[in-house]
Each structure stands twice: as structure tokens, then as C-alpha cells.
Structure 1
């Protein structure tokens, strides 16, 4: 292969190429289109929000029999199909200028349609690529999923209302995570804070529960296309996090409460025990931290709490012990 030449095409260009039969969306090594409706809608919403999307990789070749050039989609088939099918009014997507209601292409204003069609899509042209080059590149691009953690896999697999709620709640609180020192930069880079929010949402829906990868996977799947409780859960999260953000961040960052499992328990207590005052919560945090770090005069309850913070911290038994203990100081 000679090189990769990065350029761009607007969505209307892709539409024109497809209508002219100059876009090969089904090369023999590609998967069939398998995106769920929620994934399609999420991509279109991403374009509406003017957020970046991954580049398409295209091998440009000539069909000598038909005397025309052909652009073969090496990577990005499903993204391309999604953009084309939206232009054909085949599904709807949420638009920020329509009160985030789902709309089809035909329901956009003329100005909105034009803006969508003129959206620039990054293209990587594989120049001089042989079939062997293409297979190697396709394999390299798609091998990244082998190293994804559980939350990154959920993020890749789902695009609907549950994923969007978790991402929105987690990403809007970056300053909070940093101030409280609950998550490291690497945790955030690997979506640890999104998984934390997902886990909290699961307990808000189902009552205090164990952490379980399978439970979170099922929750994302169940509420991918529709999450009727979204507004209620969103408001509950806003209240809990806004309350926690009013606590002196040093009371969390400099105490045992900067540990994710214990911080989770604090948030769940804030959710269940109201009314509370910031002063009362800060006093409780200090007292609990002092008892936790004390080597003497530990009560049976102190010892039980210490144990619940030190082993199998994500199980329901440990979570119930921590919840009851913290609650007793409120």
C-alpha cells in the first residue's frame, strides 16, 4: 500500500455516490448491517450535536468493465448505511432544535436538512491497497474490542436512552470527580465513572443491589430503545450529586469516602435519607473516617463496617452493612 490520504466528503457526496452505484457497501470481508435502531439514532444525533464521528476508510478503485470508479468501504459500512437510510426517511433521531424529540429527515426544516447534508465526514483513502492490505487494515481497526473493559463494551454495544443518560450524568460531573479524588485520570479514560453512575442507576431502579456486570448489561439492553423512568431517575441523580457537590470536597478526597465503594454507599444514603443537611453529613463523614482509621476502641459495628469496606466490597451484604452504618450517623 502506498499511503493513507485523509480528506473529507459531505453526506450529500456519499448520497450521490450511492445513487450512482459508485459506493461499495458490501465488500466480501465486511459484516452485514446489524445495527439496532437505537445505535442508528445515536449516530445521527451525534451529527446533529456536531460531535466528531470516526473516519470512514475507503479503497478507491476502477471498474474497467463499467468504466467508472468505485469507492469500497473498508471500515464504516454501518455508519455509512445509517446516514444514507436516514436521508431516505427510514428512521427517526433526536434533534436538539426539536426539543430533543425524534424526527425523520423529512420533518427537518430546509435549513436543518441542508446543514445535515453538508456535514463533513472524515475519510481515509487507502491508496494502492491490495486485498491483503485491506484485510490486514480491517483486522487491525476492528481488533480494538478485544481489550475493552465491561463498560467500554456496553458503550460500544448500545446507543439508546440508558447509555445516553449514563454518559450525560457522568460527563457533566468531571470537575466533581476530580475535586473529590474518587476517580483517577485513567479511571475516567476507561469510563470508570460511567460504570459507577450505571451501577448507581441500577440500585435507584431496583433498590440497593450487588454490583454485577450481567445486571448492567441487561439494564442497558432492556432500556436501550426506551426508558420510561428516565426523567425520574435523572432528577434523583441530579439531587444526589448536587447535594454531594455541596459537601466540602476535602471531606471526601481526604477521607475513606474517596474510595469508590464507600462513596457509592454515601450517595445511596443521601438518596434514601431525607431531609439531610450538609453540616450533618460532613460531621458524619469526619466521625466515620476517624473511627475507620482508629486502632483502638472500635465497637462491633465499627469492625463490621471496616470489614465491609475491605473485602468483597461490591456484594449486597457489604453494601447493606455500609448503608446501615453510615445511615446510623445521619
Structure 2
């Protein structure tokens, strides 16, 4: 019978803190979110729950045991935000809720305090109870990455919802195609645009996915249809090394085209994703029948700067107005993206 090998136990917060200080936890396995997504108030509410000895959901850990040394390490599959909240409290980075005492289970003295305040003599019993609070742990014992990814995917369909891209990352992070997405997210010329996105929710990688699939297919895609991205990632996840290199080469070519345009995206106020996607589609169209060496970038730079300067100045020219209309709503739709690109091509 093919079933998952796991076992349950409990550790108290004191054990967890000791293990944390020994660097036994990996909070950033490939499938995890990039950083904290819980708000301070949500973290404080978890501390409220713990101090009042209410239960919290179990923590899922992927256990790694070095058979030679016996050293054990743990990848956090599920529970990163909960463990992070506990650490934030111990490190005096968050406080208890201001209304801790309002439900009849707390006392006024525990409202809006830091961990260090528990050293007060009248609160010492609460500190002892905090250290002794039992956390249920589910240990997963497997060497199969796909199994761990599957567990992460299943566990995170409830609770703090994962974005579409976080779910893609959980499912495909070990594939060559997804590794390429992560690599391309570091491309220099894209940083002004990607820095405006919420990187901790992988919005940068989602946008790179859109640009990459556009460059592969040489046609505009809809950014408002996540199921299409899912389908394409699934399709390309088994690509050969040579194919992935072709994908990367094309992406770099279009990136280089935009770099050579030498546009000051911030000054022209076109460092948003919708404007940049138009430039990306413009690059693809211009290089369909030309090499980069055949492009007169000085002329293109002057023409595009003129276009966007008029756009900022609210020019009534037809092509400017056509472009402007596509920026009013539904900016990620296929039709609006195509029209923006056509406006640039016709103007140039």
C-alpha cells in the first residue's frame, strides 16, 4: 500500500527556541513563500492564542537526518507564519493585542506588552506557561521532492490563501522551466518594474512568466487569465536543456533590445507593468524581421520619448488617445495589450 510516511509528536516552545538557536530549521525551502505575509496584528493574535492555551494547527516539518553524523535538520512545509510569529514575540518585535483581557481569558496586565515584560514578577507564571506551550508537530519522512511539494500545495489551499504564483512555485519549483523563471527575475533591465511588485508574494515571478511565455510564443497573452499561465507552465515544465536555453536566449535578446532603447522609465512614468509589457511586445515585433544590429536605436529612443512625453502631456493625437484608452481599465487583457503595442508600432 503506497501511503505517506509521517508521525506526530509535540514539542514545547522552549524546545522550538532551543532548536532554532541551533539553526535546525530551514524556513526557506524552494516551495515556501519568500518572506512573512502575516500582518503584525495577525501575529499578535497568535500570541494571544498561545498565552491563553488555545490550540493552534499543527506544524508540518520535512525531517532530514544525516546518517553519518546523526544531525537532524527540518524544512518547514507548513507553519512558517506561525513559527515566525512566535519568534517575533520572543525577539520583542511584536506585542500582545491591546484587548488581550477583553474575552475573559486574559488579564489587563497582559494587554499590549512585549515578551520582555513577562519578566515582571506578577507575570512570571504566564512566561512559564508560554515556554511550556505544546506545539503539535507532523514529521514527514520522504526523499521525494514532488511528495513534499504536493503536501505544501494541499496544506496551503486553506488558511492565509496562496496566490496563483505561490501555488505554481509549490508545484513546479524543481522543474527546469521554473528555475529559469527565477533566474530571469534577476535581469537588470527589468528591476525598475519588478521592484514595484510585491516580491514576497511572487508577483515578480508571475510577471516574468508572462513575459517569458510571450517571448516563446511570439504573441500577446492575457495576464488576466491565470489558467492560461498554469497550462503553459505545465506544458514547458518538461522542456529539454537545449529548449530552455533557447527560451533564455530569446528572453535576453528582448531584454537587450529594451536596454538599448535607453528610456528613462521612471522619468517617463512608464515603469509600470502595463507600459513595460507594451515595450516587450514592441521589441518582439521589431525583431521578427531584424537583428538587434539592424535597429536604429537612436531614432527609436527619440520617437518613443516623444510618444510618452505626449502621453504624459495629455496629447489629443489619435495614437496617443488609442494608447491612453487601453490604460483606463482591463489593462492585462489580450485586446488592450495588443492595442498598446500597435499604437507604438504605428507611431514609430
Of 288, 306, 313, the match for 1:287? 306
Cα distance per residue 1:236-258 (max 9 Å; x no partner): 11111123233435x21111421
User: 1:273-284 residue pairs with structure 2 within 5 A?
Assistant: 273-274=286-287, 275-284=294-303
Distance 1:233 1:191 in 2: 21
Distance 1:154 1:311 in 2: 27
* CA-CA distance at 1:167 after TM superposition: 0.7
> Aligned to 1:270, what secondary structure does the other structure show?
helix
Cα distance per residue 1:187-234 (max 9 Å; x no partner): 233322211110012222332221221111112222223356322221
Instruction: Give the aligned partner of residue 323 of structure 1.
Output: 341
* TM-score, scaled to structure 1: 0.57
The answer on whether the counterparts of 1:182 and 1:253 sit within 8 Å (CA) in structure 2 is no
The answer on whether the counterparts of 1:151 and 1:191 sit within 8 Å (CA) in structure 2 is yes
> Aligned to 1:75, what secondary structure does the other structure show?
strand
Pairing 1:234–2:219 present = no
Of 209, 226, 232, the match for 1:219? 232
Instruction: Give the aligned partner of residue 112 of structure 2.
Output: none
Aligned length: 227
> Aligned to 2:194, what secondary structure does the other structure show?
coil
Instruction: Give the aligned partner of residue 193 of structure 1.
Output: 204
The answer on whether the counterparts of 1:8 and 1:123 sit within 8 Å (CA) in structure 2 is no
Identify if the C-alpha distance between structure 1 residues 322 and 188 changes in structure 2 by more than 3 Å, giving closer, same or farther.
same
The answer on whether the counterparts of 1:166 and 1:197 sit within 8 Å (CA) in structure 2 is yes
Pairing 1:208–2:220 present = yes
Distance 1:8 1:246 in 2: 45
Of 151, 166, 169, the match for 1:152? 166
Identify if the C-alpha distance between structure 1 residues 281 and 190 changes in structure 2 by more than 3 Å, giving closer, same or farther.
farther
Distance 1:279 1:74 in 2: 58
Identify if the C-alpha distance between structure 1 residues 291 and 154 changes in structure 2 by more than 3 Å, giving closer, same or farther.
same
The answer on whether the counterparts of 2:216 and 2:250 sit within 8 Å (CA) in structure 1 is no
Distance 2:183 2:71 in 1: 25
Distance 2:229 2:75 in 1: 35
Distance 2:237 2:179 in 1: 9
Instruction: Give the aligned partner of residue 255 of structure 1.
Output: 268
Of 180, 189, 193, the match for 1:182? 193
Q: Runs of 5+ in structure 1 lacking a partner? A: 10-42, 47-52, 55-72, 88-116
Distance 2:133 2:238 in 1: 39
Pairing 1:161–2:176 present = yes
Cα distance per residue 1:150-192 (max 9 Å; x no partner): 212211121212211111111x22x4344xx323365233322
Deviates more, 1:280-289 or 1:315-324: 280-289
Distance 2:166 2:296 in 1: 36
* CA-CA distance at 1:299 after TM superposition: 2.6
Of 38, 49, 60, the match for 1:75? 60
Identify if the C-alpha distance between structure 1 residues 119 and 311 changes in structure 2 by more than 3 Å, giving closer, same or farther.
farther
Distance 2:168 2:278 in 1: 24
